[in-house]
Amino acid sequence: MNAAPKTLRHLSELTAAGLAPASRRAALEKVAAQYAVAITPAMAELIDTSDPHDPIARQFVPDAAELETQPQERADPIGDHAHSAVDGVVHRYPDRALLKLTATCAVYCRFCFRREMVGPGAESLSPQQLDAALGYIAAHQEIWEVILTGGDPLVLSPRRLKQVMTRLAAIDHVKVVRVHTRIPAAEPSRVTPELAKALRASGKATYVVLHANHARELTPAARDACALLIDAGIPMLSQSVLLSGVNDDAATLGALMRALVECRIKPYYLHHADLAPGTSHLRTSIERGQELMRELRGRYSGLCQPGYVLDIPGGHGKTPIGPSYLREDGPGRYCVEDFNGGLHSYPPRP
Protein backbone atom coordinates (compact mmCIF):
# COMPACT_ATOMS: atom_id res chain seq x y z
CA MET A 1 0.00 0.00 0.00
CA ASN A 2 1.35 3.42 -0.96
CA ALA A 3 1.84 5.90 1.86
CA ALA A 4 -0.43 8.93 1.89
CA PRO A 5 1.14 12.08 0.45
CA LYS A 6 2.83 14.19 3.08
CA THR A 7 3.59 17.86 3.49
CA LEU A 8 6.85 18.82 1.76
CA ARG A 9 9.19 20.52 4.23
CA HIS A 10 12.72 19.98 2.94
CA LEU A 11 14.53 21.05 -0.20
CA SER A 12 15.29 17.41 -1.03
CA GLU A 13 11.54 16.72 -1.06
CA LEU A 14 10.81 19.75 -3.23
CA THR A 15 13.55 18.72 -5.65
CA ALA A 16 12.26 15.14 -5.82
CA ALA A 17 8.75 16.44 -6.54
CA GLY A 18 10.06 18.63 -9.37
CA LEU A 19 9.14 21.83 -7.54
CA ALA A 20 12.69 23.14 -7.12
CA PRO A 21 15.60 22.63 -9.56
CA ALA A 22 18.55 20.70 -8.22
CA SER A 23 20.86 23.30 -9.78
CA ARG A 24 19.56 25.95 -7.36
CA ARG A 25 19.45 23.78 -4.27
CA ALA A 26 22.43 25.43 -2.53
CA ALA A 27 20.86 28.90 -2.73
CA LEU A 28 17.44 27.63 -1.76
CA GLU A 29 18.87 25.77 1.24
CA LYS A 30 19.96 29.19 2.54
CA VAL A 31 16.40 30.46 2.12
CA ALA A 32 14.93 27.42 3.86
CA ALA A 33 17.37 27.84 6.73
CA GLN A 34 16.04 31.35 7.31
CA TYR A 35 12.33 31.07 6.47
CA ALA A 36 10.06 28.09 7.05
CA VAL A 37 8.98 25.86 4.17
CA ALA A 38 5.85 23.70 4.00
CA ILE A 39 3.71 22.77 1.02
CA THR A 40 0.73 20.52 1.70
CA PRO A 41 -0.28 17.80 -0.77
CA ALA A 42 -3.36 19.85 -1.71
CA MET A 43 -1.19 22.81 -2.74
CA ALA A 44 1.58 20.70 -4.30
CA GLU A 45 -0.95 19.02 -6.59
CA LEU A 46 -1.97 22.41 -7.98
CA ILE A 47 1.54 23.40 -9.07
CA ASP A 48 2.25 23.09 -12.79
CA THR A 49 5.90 22.04 -12.78
CA SER A 50 6.15 22.82 -16.52
CA ASP A 51 5.38 26.49 -15.88
CA PRO A 52 8.34 28.41 -14.42
CA HIS A 53 5.93 31.20 -13.49
CA ASP A 54 3.21 29.06 -11.90
CA PRO A 55 1.23 31.32 -9.51
CA ILE A 56 0.77 28.62 -6.86
CA ALA A 57 4.47 27.76 -6.84
CA ARG A 58 5.31 31.45 -6.57
CA GLN A 59 3.38 31.61 -3.29
CA PHE A 60 4.96 28.58 -1.60
CA VAL A 61 8.19 27.44 -3.28
CA PRO A 62 11.33 29.19 -1.93
CA ASP A 63 13.04 31.67 -4.21
CA ALA A 64 16.65 32.88 -3.97
CA ALA A 65 15.29 36.44 -4.21
CA GLU A 66 14.14 36.04 -0.60
CA LEU A 67 17.74 36.52 0.48
CA GLU A 68 17.69 40.07 -0.94
CA THR A 69 16.47 42.41 1.78
CA GLN A 70 15.59 46.01 0.97
CA PRO A 71 16.36 48.89 3.35
CA GLN A 72 12.67 49.68 3.88
CA GLU A 73 11.76 46.10 4.84
CA ARG A 74 11.14 45.20 8.47
CA ALA A 75 11.16 42.06 10.60
CA ASP A 76 7.84 43.20 12.11
CA PRO A 77 6.34 45.20 9.24
CA ILE A 78 2.90 45.88 10.76
CA GLY A 79 4.10 46.53 14.30
CA ASP A 80 2.69 43.53 16.15
CA HIS A 81 5.29 43.93 18.89
CA ALA A 82 4.43 47.58 19.48
CA HIS A 83 0.83 46.62 20.31
CA SER A 84 1.45 43.29 22.05
CA ALA A 85 -0.27 43.74 25.40
CA VAL A 86 0.66 40.29 26.71
CA ASP A 87 2.05 37.20 24.99
CA GLY A 88 -0.36 36.19 22.23
CA VAL A 89 -2.49 39.37 22.24
CA VAL A 90 -2.15 42.28 19.83
CA HIS A 91 -4.49 45.14 20.76
CA ARG A 92 -4.11 47.67 17.95
CA TYR A 93 -7.71 48.86 17.52
CA PRO A 94 -10.05 49.94 20.34
CA ASP A 95 -12.82 47.36 19.86
CA ARG A 96 -10.91 44.28 18.68
CA ALA A 97 -7.81 42.29 19.49
CA LEU A 98 -5.79 39.50 17.90
CA LEU A 99 -5.33 36.27 19.81
CA LYS A 100 -2.33 34.44 18.33
CA LEU A 101 -2.83 30.87 19.54
CA THR A 102 0.00 29.28 17.59
CA ALA A 103 2.97 30.24 15.42
CA THR A 104 2.70 27.24 13.08
CA CYS A 105 0.91 26.94 9.73
CA ALA A 106 -0.06 24.18 7.34
CA VAL A 107 1.75 26.04 4.54
CA TYR A 108 4.29 28.86 4.70
CA CYS A 109 3.70 31.73 2.29
CA ARG A 110 6.82 33.29 0.82
CA PHE A 111 5.36 36.79 1.38
CA CYS A 112 4.25 36.28 5.00
CA PHE A 113 4.46 39.42 7.15
CA ARG A 114 5.14 37.23 10.20
CA ARG A 115 7.79 35.12 8.44
CA GLU A 116 10.39 35.99 11.08
CA MET A 117 8.10 34.66 13.84
CA VAL A 118 6.46 31.49 12.47
CA GLY A 119 7.67 28.04 11.55
CA PRO A 120 7.98 24.38 12.55
CA GLY A 121 8.85 23.99 16.18
CA ALA A 122 7.36 27.36 17.10
CA GLU A 123 5.34 26.89 20.23
CA SER A 124 1.65 27.47 20.80
CA LEU A 125 0.66 29.56 23.78
CA SER A 126 1.38 27.73 27.01
CA PRO A 127 -1.54 27.22 29.42
CA GLN A 128 -0.17 30.07 31.53
CA GLN A 129 0.20 32.37 28.51
CA LEU A 130 -3.31 31.51 27.33
CA ASP A 131 -4.69 32.28 30.80
CA ALA A 132 -2.96 35.66 30.74
CA ALA A 133 -4.16 36.41 27.21
CA LEU A 134 -7.78 35.57 27.98
CA GLY A 135 -7.46 37.47 31.26
CA TYR A 136 -6.39 40.56 29.33
CA ILE A 137 -9.35 40.23 26.96
CA ALA A 138 -11.75 39.73 29.88
CA ALA A 139 -10.35 42.81 31.65
CA HIS A 140 -10.82 45.10 28.63
CA GLN A 141 -14.52 45.57 28.13
CA GLU A 142 -13.99 47.61 24.97
CA ILE A 143 -12.94 44.42 23.12
CA TRP A 144 -16.05 43.49 21.13
CA GLU A 145 -14.30 41.20 18.62
CA VAL A 146 -11.49 38.66 19.04
CA ILE A 147 -9.58 37.57 15.94
CA LEU A 148 -7.94 34.15 16.16
CA THR A 149 -4.75 34.14 14.13
CA GLY A 150 -1.16 33.00 14.36
CA GLY A 151 0.24 31.07 12.53
CA ASP A 152 -2.97 29.38 11.53
CA PRO A 153 -5.36 28.62 14.40
CA LEU A 154 -7.01 25.76 12.51
CA VAL A 155 -3.87 23.65 12.73
CA LEU A 156 -4.97 23.09 16.33
CA SER A 157 -7.21 20.16 17.17
CA PRO A 158 -10.98 20.67 17.47
CA ARG A 159 -10.64 19.83 21.17
CA ARG A 160 -8.19 22.67 21.80
CA LEU A 161 -10.17 25.10 19.67
CA LYS A 162 -13.34 24.21 21.53
CA GLN A 163 -11.63 24.95 24.83
CA VAL A 164 -10.64 28.41 23.62
CA MET A 165 -14.08 29.13 22.15
CA THR A 166 -15.77 28.02 25.39
CA ARG A 167 -13.60 30.39 27.39
CA LEU A 168 -14.31 33.25 24.98
CA ALA A 169 -18.03 32.48 25.26
CA ALA A 170 -17.76 33.19 28.97
CA ILE A 171 -16.54 36.77 28.32
CA ASP A 172 -19.77 38.72 28.02
CA HIS A 173 -18.46 41.79 26.20
CA VAL A 174 -16.88 39.71 23.40
CA LYS A 175 -19.65 39.34 20.81
CA VAL A 176 -17.75 38.27 17.68
CA VAL A 177 -14.97 35.74 17.08
CA ARG A 178 -13.22 35.91 13.72
CA VAL A 179 -10.90 33.10 12.57
CA HIS A 180 -8.27 33.78 9.89
CA THR A 181 -7.04 30.66 8.12
CA ARG A 182 -5.70 29.02 4.97
CA ILE A 183 -6.74 25.52 6.06
CA PRO A 184 -9.93 25.05 3.97
CA ALA A 185 -7.84 25.45 0.80
CA ALA A 186 -4.41 24.31 1.99
CA GLU A 187 -5.50 21.21 3.91
CA PRO A 188 -9.25 20.74 3.37
CA SER A 189 -9.32 17.31 5.04
CA ARG A 190 -8.90 19.09 8.39
CA VAL A 191 -12.31 20.73 8.00
CA THR A 192 -14.72 18.27 9.60
CA PRO A 193 -18.12 18.50 11.31
CA GLU A 194 -16.21 18.22 14.59
CA LEU A 195 -14.13 21.29 13.69
CA ALA A 196 -17.20 23.28 12.63
CA LYS A 197 -18.88 22.43 15.92
CA ALA A 198 -15.77 23.46 17.85
CA LEU A 199 -15.82 26.90 16.24
CA ARG A 200 -19.28 27.71 17.51
CA ALA A 201 -19.41 29.65 20.78
CA SER A 202 -22.64 30.12 22.67
CA GLY A 203 -23.93 33.66 22.34
CA LYS A 204 -21.19 34.71 19.91
CA ALA A 205 -21.10 35.24 16.16
CA THR A 206 -18.28 33.27 14.53
CA TYR A 207 -16.82 34.27 11.15
CA VAL A 208 -14.13 32.40 9.23
CA VAL A 209 -11.90 34.41 6.90
CA LEU A 210 -10.24 32.33 4.20
CA HIS A 211 -6.87 33.44 2.83
CA ALA A 212 -6.75 32.65 -0.90
CA ASN A 213 -4.84 34.44 -3.66
CA HIS A 214 -5.71 32.55 -6.84
CA ALA A 215 -8.90 30.92 -8.12
CA ARG A 216 -7.08 27.59 -8.59
CA GLU A 217 -6.78 27.31 -4.81
CA LEU A 218 -10.55 26.82 -4.64
CA THR A 219 -10.51 23.18 -5.67
CA PRO A 220 -13.58 20.94 -5.33
CA ALA A 221 -12.22 19.74 -1.98
CA ALA A 222 -11.66 23.31 -0.80
CA ARG A 223 -15.16 24.29 -1.90
CA ASP A 224 -16.61 21.33 0.00
CA ALA A 225 -14.66 22.33 3.10
CA CYS A 226 -15.98 25.88 2.91
CA ALA A 227 -19.52 24.64 2.30
CA LEU A 228 -19.29 22.47 5.41
CA LEU A 229 -18.48 25.51 7.54
CA ILE A 230 -21.09 27.73 5.91
CA ASP A 231 -23.80 25.09 6.12
CA ALA A 232 -22.95 24.76 9.81
CA GLY A 233 -23.98 28.40 10.22
CA ILE A 234 -20.53 30.02 10.06
CA PRO A 235 -20.38 32.93 7.57
CA MET A 236 -17.19 33.23 5.55
CA LEU A 237 -15.23 36.20 4.27
CA SER A 238 -11.94 36.27 2.38
CA GLN A 239 -8.63 38.02 2.48
CA SER A 240 -6.13 38.06 -0.36
CA VAL A 241 -2.74 39.63 -0.89
CA LEU A 242 -1.95 41.45 -4.12
CA LEU A 243 1.14 39.66 -5.45
CA SER A 244 3.28 40.25 -8.50
CA GLY A 245 3.09 37.28 -10.85
CA VAL A 246 0.24 35.69 -8.91
CA ASN A 247 -2.88 37.85 -9.19
CA ASP A 248 -1.77 41.27 -10.44
CA ASP A 249 -3.95 41.36 -13.53
CA ALA A 250 -7.66 42.12 -13.63
CA ALA A 251 -8.75 38.83 -15.21
CA THR A 252 -6.93 36.71 -12.60
CA LEU A 253 -8.03 38.88 -9.69
CA GLY A 254 -11.60 38.99 -10.96
CA ALA A 255 -11.67 35.20 -11.42
CA LEU A 256 -10.54 34.79 -7.79
CA MET A 257 -13.24 37.10 -6.48
CA ARG A 258 -15.93 35.39 -8.56
CA ALA A 259 -14.79 31.97 -7.36
CA LEU A 260 -15.01 33.14 -3.76
CA VAL A 261 -18.52 34.54 -4.23
CA GLU A 262 -19.59 31.29 -5.93
CA CYS A 263 -18.48 29.55 -2.73
CA ARG A 264 -20.66 31.94 -0.68
CA ILE A 265 -17.56 33.73 0.59
CA LYS A 266 -17.71 37.53 0.59
CA PRO A 267 -14.44 39.16 -0.54
CA TYR A 268 -13.30 41.30 2.39
CA TYR A 269 -9.69 42.48 2.15
CA LEU A 270 -7.21 42.79 -0.70
CA HIS A 271 -3.97 43.55 1.14
CA HIS A 272 -1.14 45.49 -0.40
CA ALA A 273 1.86 43.25 0.29
CA ASP A 274 3.66 44.17 3.50
CA LEU A 275 7.31 45.19 3.83
CA ALA A 276 8.45 41.78 5.09
CA PRO A 277 12.13 40.94 4.57
CA GLY A 278 13.00 39.39 1.23
CA THR A 279 9.61 39.94 -0.41
CA SER A 280 10.24 42.85 -2.80
CA HIS A 281 10.02 40.52 -5.83
CA LEU A 282 6.41 39.78 -4.87
CA ARG A 283 5.21 43.33 -4.20
CA THR A 284 3.42 45.46 -6.76
CA SER A 285 3.16 49.25 -6.66
CA ILE A 286 0.21 50.89 -4.95
CA GLU A 287 -0.59 52.55 -8.29
CA ARG A 288 -0.93 49.11 -9.90
CA GLY A 289 -3.25 48.01 -7.11
CA GLN A 290 -5.43 51.07 -7.58
CA GLU A 291 -5.52 50.48 -11.32
CA LEU A 292 -6.68 46.91 -10.75
CA MET A 293 -9.43 48.05 -8.40
CA ARG A 294 -10.62 50.43 -11.10
CA GLU A 295 -10.68 47.56 -13.58
CA LEU A 296 -12.77 45.43 -11.21
CA ARG A 297 -15.27 48.21 -10.46
CA GLY A 298 -18.36 47.96 -12.63
CA ARG A 299 -17.01 45.01 -14.62
CA TYR A 300 -17.50 42.52 -11.80
CA SER A 301 -20.43 42.25 -9.43
CA GLY A 302 -20.44 44.44 -6.35
CA LEU A 303 -20.20 41.20 -4.37
CA CYS A 304 -16.76 40.72 -5.93
CA GLN A 305 -15.26 44.00 -4.69
CA PRO A 306 -12.80 43.67 -1.78
CA GLY A 307 -11.46 46.63 0.15
CA TYR A 308 -7.91 47.42 -1.00
CA VAL A 309 -5.96 48.18 2.16
CA LEU A 310 -2.46 49.00 3.34
CA ASP A 311 -1.21 48.04 6.79
CA ILE A 312 0.75 51.15 7.67
CA PRO A 313 4.32 50.18 8.67
CA GLY A 314 5.04 50.58 12.34
CA GLY A 315 1.71 49.35 13.65
CA HIS A 316 -0.58 52.25 12.78
CA GLY A 317 -3.31 49.99 11.40
CA LYS A 318 -4.99 49.33 8.07
CA THR A 319 -6.18 52.14 5.84
CA PRO A 320 -8.15 51.98 2.57
CA ILE A 321 -6.00 52.95 -0.41
CA GLY A 322 -8.41 52.28 -3.26
CA PRO A 323 -8.88 54.86 -6.00
CA SER A 324 -11.19 57.82 -5.51
CA TYR A 325 -13.99 58.50 -7.98
CA LEU A 326 -15.06 61.83 -6.54
CA ARG A 327 -13.42 65.26 -6.64
CA GLU A 328 -14.51 68.82 -5.96
CA ASP A 329 -15.56 70.80 -9.01
CA GLY A 330 -16.22 74.26 -7.61
CA PRO A 331 -17.93 75.44 -4.41
CA GLY A 332 -20.29 72.74 -3.20
CA ARG A 333 -20.08 70.87 -6.50
CA TYR A 334 -18.53 67.52 -7.30
CA CYS A 335 -17.31 65.65 -10.34
CA VAL A 336 -17.96 61.91 -10.24
CA GLU A 337 -16.17 59.33 -12.42
CA ASP A 338 -18.07 56.26 -13.63
CA PHE A 339 -16.51 52.83 -14.15
CA ASN A 340 -15.89 53.61 -17.84
CA GLY A 341 -13.92 56.75 -17.00
CA GLY A 342 -16.75 59.14 -17.88
CA LEU A 343 -17.03 62.30 -15.76
CA HIS A 344 -20.33 63.58 -14.42
CA SER A 345 -21.24 66.71 -12.50
CA TYR A 346 -23.06 66.27 -9.22
CA PRO A 347 -25.16 69.29 -8.20
CA PRO A 348 -24.61 71.19 -4.95
CA ARG A 349 -27.01 70.91 -2.05
CA PRO A 350 -29.88 73.43 -2.45
What is the set of active-site residues?
92-93, 96, 105, 109, 112, 114, 274, 311, 318
DSSP 3-state assignment of 245? coil
| Strand intervals (E) in 111-264 | 145-149, 176-181, 205-211, 236-242
Of 169, 89, 97, 92, residue with least CA distance to 125: 89
80-108 per-residue burial string, b: 16 or more CB within 10 A, e: under 16: beebbbbebbbbbbeebbbbbbbbbbbbb
Rg of the Cα atoms in the chain: 21
270: exposed, middle or buried (C-beta count within 10 Å: 0-12, 13-18, 19+)? buried
- Give the whole-angstrom CA distance, residue 278 versus residue 67: 6
The length of the chain is: 350
Q: Which residues pair with 148 in a beta bridge?
A: 99, 179
Q: How many CA atoms lie within 13 A of 20 on its CB side?
A: 24
